[in-house]
């Protein structure tokens, strides 16, 4: 298969390992599995590939050290456990990677590092400098200080954002299932593993279902959302079972393992990647068929006349999703009007704006230079 063969040539790789892969069922760290993971990553690095590891497990490591049976509900307790566990986790990684002659660096990120373009670029430059020094960055969300509005949300999304940030060739999400199935294999014995997904349709999103294990924060649905980020950033993504023996070695030998999401041909430039996946989404607008066609076929800007509806509360300069009439996300962009102003001009021609609005008037609701197609 062409896409599997191309994986063999991947030079820059991001691997995300989830809590369910790192921990035993009772919540304690699975040291044997971590060691197997480190050995495979070290061997890939020895093949002159650049490696970035996005790891979960800090809260689980804290739970284990504090001899607690399950994750607490309160944010301060979760943050305290993350603070305890992050050091434990990094100590284990540093010791094991060191045994294979690898140097690692801890990198903690929050949503704030991607929302502001200057911080986005600083994060990118720091990661690229580490890779140039042949260091393996080990990345986690900074759960100790992140509050909900600053959280990326889950390490699936974090890993896809990082893959976009560093222009990775391949992103591998290691989880506790063999990939994405046609239905939930835990309750549906007829569910079949999907080998390749070239387009993420509403049917695919429905098949992904909801949340996963009680220790993790995301299920298969968050992995499909991560795939949207990855493939639209020119990154091929693979979902595979982290408990499978030599899973990474076999994936990068081109074997048919897990579910593959081939990268889209169009590779977003730095600012476009940030615009699409770094900035916080404040709402959405719905456009008619004519506007949709103009966007996709001609790269047009969005005018008020083509907007039929919107939702959310946003200000000028917010990032919004652009939805088709059948609720497909077709673009993301920076909007020139706040909610109150948009409500006044929706469906109107540009020549009417002067009589409808006070203050500065823009011809476009979203200019094409500030928009990224998602189809």
In a shared domain, residues 265 and 316: no
Compute and round to an integer the Cα radius of gyration of the chain.
22
Residue 190 counted as an annotated binding residue:
no
Residue 244 carries which DSSP code? S
Last residue of one domain, picked from the residues 209, 242, 272? 272
In this structure, how many other beta carbons lie within 10 angstroms of the beta carbon of residue 197? 20
* Separation of alpha carbons 74 and 304, rounded Å: 44
Last residue of one domain, picked from the residues 250, 272, 294? 272
* Separation of alpha carbons 119 and 364, rounded Å: 28
Residue 176 counted as an annotated binding residue:
yes
In this structure, how many other beta carbons lie within 10 angstroms of the beta carbon of residue 71? 18
Q: Specify the pLDDT at position 215.
A: 37
Residue 175 counted as an annotated binding residue:
yes
Find out whether 237 and 170 touch, Cβ atoms under 8 Å: yes
Tell the residue number behind the tokens 């690898």, with chain if given.
102
Give ∠ CA 134-93-277 in degrees, rounded to 5. 65
Residue 161 counted as an annotated binding residue:
no
Host domain of residue 344: 280-373
CA dist list (Å): 321 to 220, 280, 327, 336, 365:
22, 10, 10, 13, 13
- Residues 6 or more apart whose CB falls under 8 angstroms from that of 168 comprise 12, 13, 14, 52, 162, 235
Last residue of one domain, picked from the residues 224, 247, 272? 272
In a shared domain, residues 294 and 246: no
Q: Specify the pLDDT at position 218.
A: 42
In a shared domain, residues 126 and 262: yes
* Separation of alpha carbons 118 and 372, rounded Å: 19
In a shared domain, residues 161 and 223: yes
Q: Specify the pLDDT at position 28.
A: 76
In this structure, how many other beta carbons lie within 10 angstroms of the beta carbon of residue 226? 28
In a shared domain, residues 266 and 302: no
- Residues 6 or more apart whose CB falls under 8 angstroms from that of 359 comprise none
In a shared domain, residues 304 and 172: no
CATH classification at residue 341: 2.30.130.10
- Residues 6 or more apart whose CB falls under 8 angstroms from that of 354 comprise 361
In a shared domain, residues 262 and 295: no
Beta bridge partners of 13: 51, 170
Number of structural domains (the chain) is 2
In a shared domain, residues 243 and 313: no
Tell the residue number behind the tokens 């600083």, with chain if given.
122
In this structure, how many other beta carbons lie within 10 angstroms of the beta carbon of residue 313? 10
The tokens describing 354, both together, are 């002067």
Q: Is the pLDDT of residue 51 over 90?
A: yes
Q: Is the pLDDT of residue 325 over 70?
A: yes
In a shared domain, residues 31 and 177: yes
Residue 182 counted as an annotated binding residue:
no
Q: Specify the pLDDT at position 117.
A: 60
Proportion of the chain above pLDDT 70, given as a percent:
87
Residue 339 counted as an annotated binding residue:
no
In a shared domain, residues 100 and 201: yes
Give ∠ CA 330-334-335 in degrees, rounded to 5. 95
Residue 218 counted as an annotated binding residue:
yes
In a shared domain, residues 113 and 165: yes
- pTM listed for this prediction: 0.75
Residue 221 counted as an annotated binding residue:
yes
In a shared domain, residues 169 and 109: yes
Q: What is the mean pLDDT of residues 180-199?
A: 85
Find out whether 60 and 29 touch, Cβ atoms under 8 Å: yes
* Separation of alpha carbons 260 and 227, rounded Å: 9
Confidence of residue 135 (pLDDT cuts 50, 70, 90): very high
Residue 155 counted as an annotated binding residue:
yes
Q: What is the mean pLDDT of residues 264-293?
A: 75
- Residues 6 or more apart whose CB falls under 8 angstroms from that of 296 comprise 330, 373, 375
Q: Is the pLDDT of residue 2 over 70?
A: no
Confidence of residue 148 (pLDDT cuts 50, 70, 90): very low
Average pLDDT, rounded, for the chain: 85
CATH classification at residue 82: 3.40.1160.10
Q: DSSP 3-state assignment of 282?
A: strand
Confidence of residue 183 (pLDDT cuts 50, 70, 90): confident
Q: Is the pLDDT of residue 152 over 50?
A: no
Residue 370 counted as an annotated binding residue:
no
Based on the number of CB atoms within 10 Å of its own CB, is 147 exposed (0-12), middle (13-18) or buried (19 or more)? exposed
Find out whether 52 and 127 touch, Cβ atoms under 8 Å: yes
Q: Where do the DSSP E strands lie in 121-194?
A: 136-141, 170-175
Q: Specify the pLDDT at position 272.
A: 61
- Choose the most confident range, by mean pLDDT, from 91-95, 226-230, 232-236, 369-373: 91-95
Residue 212 counted as an annotated binding residue:
no
Q: What is the mean pLDDT of residues 325-351?
A: 91
Q: Is the pLDDT of residue 304 over 90?
A: yes
Find out whether 238 and 173 touch, Cβ atoms under 8 Å: yes
Q: Specify the pLDDT at position 134.
A: 96
């Amino acid at each position: 298969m062409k896409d599997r063969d191309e994986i063999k040539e991947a030079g820059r790789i991001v691997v995300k390992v989830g809590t369910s892969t790192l921990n035993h069922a009772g919540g304690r760290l699975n040291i044997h599995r971590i060691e197997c993971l480190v050995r495979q990553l070290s061997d890939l690095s020895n093949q002159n590939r650049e490696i970035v590891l996005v790891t979960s497990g800090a809260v689980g490591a804290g739970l284990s050290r504090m001899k607690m049976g399950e994750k607490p509900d309160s944010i301060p307790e979760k943050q305290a456990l993350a603070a305890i566990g992050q050091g434990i986790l990094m100590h284990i990684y540093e010791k094991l990677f060191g045994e294979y002659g690898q140097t690692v660096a801890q990198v903690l990120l929050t949503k704030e590092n991607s929302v502001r373009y200057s911080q986005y670029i600083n994060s990118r430059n720091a990661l690229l400098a580490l890779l140039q020094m042949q260091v393996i960055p080990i990345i986690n969300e900074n759960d100790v200080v992140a509050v909900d509005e600053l959280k990326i949300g889950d390490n699936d999304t974090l890993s896809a954002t990082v893959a976009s940030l560093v222009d990775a060739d391949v992103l591998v999400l290691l989880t506790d299932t063999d990939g994405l199935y046609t239905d939930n294999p835990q309750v549906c014995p007829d569910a079949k593993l999907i080998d390749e997904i070239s387009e993420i349709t509403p049917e695919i999103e429905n098949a992904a279902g909801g949340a996963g294990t009680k220790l993790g924060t995301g299920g298969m649905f968050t992995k499909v959302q991560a795939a949207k980020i990855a493939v639209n950033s020119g990154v091929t993504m693979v979902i595979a079972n982290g408990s499978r023996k030599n899973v990474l070695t076999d994936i990068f030998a081109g074997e048919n393992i897990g579910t593959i999401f081939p990268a889209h041909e169009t590779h977003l430039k730095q600012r476009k990647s940030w615009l699409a996946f770094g900035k916080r989404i404040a709402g959405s607008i719905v456009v008619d068929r004519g506007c949709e066609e103009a966007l996709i076929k001609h790269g047009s800007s969005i005018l008020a006349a083509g907007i039929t509806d919107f939702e959310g509360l946003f200000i000028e300069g917010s990032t919004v999703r652009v939805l088709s009439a059948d609720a497909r996300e077709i673009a993301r962009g920076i909007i020139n009007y706040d909610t109150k102003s948009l409500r006044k001009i929706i469906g109107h021609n540009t020549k009417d704006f002067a009589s409808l609005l006070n203050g500065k008037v823009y011809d476009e609701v979203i200019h094409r230079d500030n928009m990224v197609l998602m189809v």
